[in-house]
A and B are shown apart, each in its own frame.
Chain A
Amino acid sequence: MSLTIRRFIPQTIVSIILIIMIIFYYFYINKSVSDAFTTWDKALSDWAVIITSFTLIIGGIDLLRYHLVQIKKIGVKQLPFSGTTIALEIIMVIFALIGLYYSYVYPKLGITITTQPQFTWLFTYLYAPTDSAVYSILLFYIASASYRAFIARNPMATLLLITAIVIMLGNTSLGNLIWPGFLPLRDWIMTVPNTAAFRPITMGVGFGTIILGLRLIMWREVSWLGRRE
């Protein structure tokens, strides 16, 4: 009984939802069945959105717990850093809740969670620049990686190097100044060999996803259950 409610019922839920959502999507029975399926399909997608919202909240709580543990473990040296993370996370959530409160109590003001002024300020001047800076700092690592990758060791690596140079020059105005043919050559590479090269990879991803679905239906895929009994 214990194992049934711990493992078998959640796995059965996965199998049943997967089978129903796939079968009724591909097979048309009649209009009333199709309409009912569309309604429940939309409802199930909404259920997933609602549950995902809770998982994001749990993720935030996990992060708070992690930083509290770090302060406890490392001590005062960690306090300014972990303290900043904890404070900013809590402050953003408080401002979001204030926005939620205003959206219900004073709807005429037009303030919602994402348009709450202090929340917007934190997003614009703290989150947006840090997010884009962290994303773009990868340039330095890619530059270092390309130094190692773009070495003409063998014919394959040479082809990689030539293609990369043509694409980079074709993407910039400098390339057009050196030789006007870089742009059409870049377009040809992107349309013909590049498209053909990624086609088998895309197909492989497709087959992999179908196999994952089948593994879930047949209870072969159990990693989502988390810890084992």
Chain B
Amino acid sequence: MVSWEIIGAWIAAFIVIWIYSFAFRDNVFYKLAEHIFVGTAAGYSIALAIDSLNRVAIKSLITQPTVSWHYIIPIILGMLMFFKYSRKYYWLARYGVAINVAVGAALAVRTIPMANIIRQIQAALTPLWGSDPIKLVNNWLMFLITVGGLTYFLFTIFPPKPAPGRTSAIYTLYRALYLIGIYGMMVGFGALFANTIVTRVGFVISIYLIYLQPYIIATIIGVILAAIGILIEVRRRSK
């Protein structure tokens, strides 16, 4: 007896192979898998939206109407958003967007100064004198790269470039910090890029282990179908 789980696992193996087939060439099975992804993703996000609407607003309105009466206002504002389809009353949707924009920006503005600026400055203030030479080198490196990066992102004030044959201490310092900043960021971007590659490789391996390896026949059939799809595409293009 074939269970729904087995059918699902076979479909999952097919879909994964068909999506990977795009790395070789666009084909009809990739298009199908892509549309399956878009359809399920949209359906899933709507379901989650209904779920959060139910949990936050509707349940509270049913169980505690005296406390949660004000949830009627965002429900009305949310419904007003459907007016975006109207040519005449599209502006009514702006009231709901206004609340969302304001709350989102306020939450960001009040937490970011501490997390992104003050905490970063505090972490950058490390002792530049001491007895431990390794710690000292690390601290100096961190200080110079941080200040160098900030110099690189300074777009408002530039020290004037000295005339040919003349030198300027401020300009030399600016250039030196600027270069240290760029080199530091190159190290950072290299690390970021490498970590991204390693993460993606990890994803591919885990997908192979979860969806493909346990259902090898489904994987082979999926590969054959993808190959047929690619051949059809090649023939269609060559005509």
Contact = CB atoms under 8 A, between A and B. Distances in A.
Contacts of A84: 32, 35-36, 39
A197 B47 contact: no
Contacts of A32: none
A90 B44 CA distance: 10
A37 B9 CA distance: 51
A114 B49 CA distance: 11
Given A56-B49, A89-B39, A51 B100 contact: yes
A205 B109 contact: no
B1 interface: no
Nearest to B91: A6
Which of A7, A26, A210 has the most CB atoms of chain B within a 10 A radius of its CB?
A210
A196 B186 contact: no
B216 interface: no
A197 B43 contact: no
Interface string B14-51: 01100110110000000111111111111111111111
B45 A195 contact: no
Interface string A59-80: 1100100000000000000001
A34 interface: no
Contacts of B105: 14, 18, 209, 212-213, 216
A51 B74 contact: yes
B186 A210 contact: no
B39 to A, nearest CB: 3
Interface in B34-89: 34-54, 56-57, 70-71, 73-75, 77-79, 81-82, 84
A194 B187 contact: yes
The interface centre, meaning the residue of B43, B101, B103 with most chain A CB atoms within 10 A of its CB, is B43
Interface string B97-110: 11111111111111
Nearest to A97: B50
Interface stretch (B145-153, B157-165, B167-175, B224-232): B145-153
B106 A21 contact: yes
A130 B94 contact: no
Contact of A54 (B79, B107, B190, B191): B79
Given A85-B42, A207-B117, A226-B94, A167 B102 contact: no
Interface residues of B, number: 114
A21 B108 CA distance: 11
Interface string B178-219: 000111111111111111111011011011000100000000
Which of the listed residues B33, B152, B181 has the most CB atoms from chain A within 10 Å of its own CB?
A: B33
B51 A196 contact: no
B181 A96 contact: no
Contacts of A137: 19-20, 22-23
Given A90-B43, A171-B194, A156 B100 contact: no
Interface in A145-161: 146, 149, 155-157, 159-161
Contact of B211 (A88, A90, A129): A129
23 contacts: A6-B91, A7-B91, A47-B77, A47-B103, A54-B53, A54-B81, A55-B78, A57-B49, A60-B42, A85-B39, A85-B42, A88-B36, A89-B46, A121-B8, A123-B44, A127-B37, A137-B20, A139-B200, A142-B197, A149-B193, A160-B186, A203-B150, A210-B109
Given A5-B91, A91-B43, A194-B191, 9 more contacts: A13-B98, A21-B102, A56-B46, A92-B47, A100-B51, A160-B186, A171-B195, A206-B117, A225-B97
Shortest beta-carbon contacts, A-B, top 8: A92-B43, A206-B116, A197-B188, A125-B8, A54-B78, A163-B190, A88-B39, A200-B149
Interface of B: 4, 7-9, 11-12, 15-16, 19-20, 22-23, 31-54, 56-57, 70-71, 73-75, 77-79, 81-82, 84, 90-91, 93-110, 112-113, 115-117, 120-121, 123-124, 138, 141-146, 149-150, 152-153, 181-198, 200-201, 203-204, 206-207, 211
